[in-house]
Structure 1
Amino acid sequence: MKALKRILNYLFWSILAFIAAFGYMRIILGAKSIDSNGFTKIANIIYDLAFVQIGLILGSIIAIIYILIDIFYLSKILKNTIKSTIIRLLVIIVIAIIIGVTHYVLEKVIDVI
């Protein structure tokens, strides 16, 4: 039962990591074009593909890093209280910001991606 509770807990935090990654991708890619000509339909397909593909990759990276930090560090120093949940939320937000900034620097500044 303890393992199931832990898996569900990490599932919740992983979903939160994916929401953060998709939010970041929405900020980076901007709004979709709503015109109906042929070129914008192709552009919308590319937009959807980039949104989902990069969002899933960034979300997976955020989730894996958070789970590793939680297993090796946070679970040892924090108990299950409201304060620890807020700290865990702040940790996942900081990880998402670091991953987002790293992605932005690699894509726009250094032009590696």
Structure 2
Amino acid sequence: MRTLKYIINYAFWIAMSLVFGIGYLRIVLGANNTSADGIGYLFNMFYYWGLFHVGMIVGLVIAFLFIFLDVFYLRKKLKNNFQSTITRFLCLVVITIFVGITHYILEKVIDVI
């Protein structure tokens, strides 16, 4: 039963990190200004395909870093209460900001990506 609780708990945090990854990429790409008619339909499809797939990769990086931090540090330091949930959420936000800054530096400054 304890293992099932951990699996459900981490599934929730993974889903949150995937949403954060897609949200971050939505901020980076900006609004989709193409029309959905004619050739714009193809551009629309590429936009949403890139938003979803690359956002999922960014979200998986965020999830991996969060689970790594949670298993090796947070689980030992925090008890299971509301305060620990808020602390984990803030850690997830900080990791998202860290991944976003790293992505920006690699893509715009160093031009690796």
Task: Tell me which interval the TM-score lies in, with the shorter structure as reference length.
Answer: over 0.9
Residue 106 of structure 1 corresponds to which residue in structure 2? 106
**Stretches of structure 1 lacking an aligned partner (at least 5 in a row):** none
TM-score, length of structure 1 as denominator length: 0.93
Measure, in 1, the Cα distance between the counterparts of 2:79 and 2:90. 16
Distance 1:37 1:63 in 2: 37
Identity rate of aligned residues, in percent?
46
Q: CA RMSD in A?
A: 1.2
TM score, norm. by length of structure 2: 0.93
How far, CA to CA, are the matches of 2:41 and 2:106 in structure 1?
28
CA distance in 2, matches of 1:72, 1:35: 48
In structure 2, what is the Cα distance between the partners aligned to 1:102 and 1:8? Answer: 29
Residue matched to 1:60: 60
2:3 counterpart of 1:18: no
Q: How does 1:11-50 map to 2 (within 5 A)?
A: 11-50=11-50
Task: Return the offset for 1:34.
Answer: 4.4
Give 1:37 deviation, angstroms: 4.3
The structure 1 segments of at least 4 consecutive aligned residues displaced by more than 4 Å after TM superposition are none
Matched, 1:70 2:47: no
Of residues 87-96 and 29-38 in structure 1, the stretch that sits farther from structure 2 once superposed is 29-38
Whole-Å separation in 2 of the counterparts to 1:40 and 1:110: 32
Count of residues paired in the alignment: 113
**One-letter amino acid of the structure 2 residue matched with residue 110 of structure 1:** I
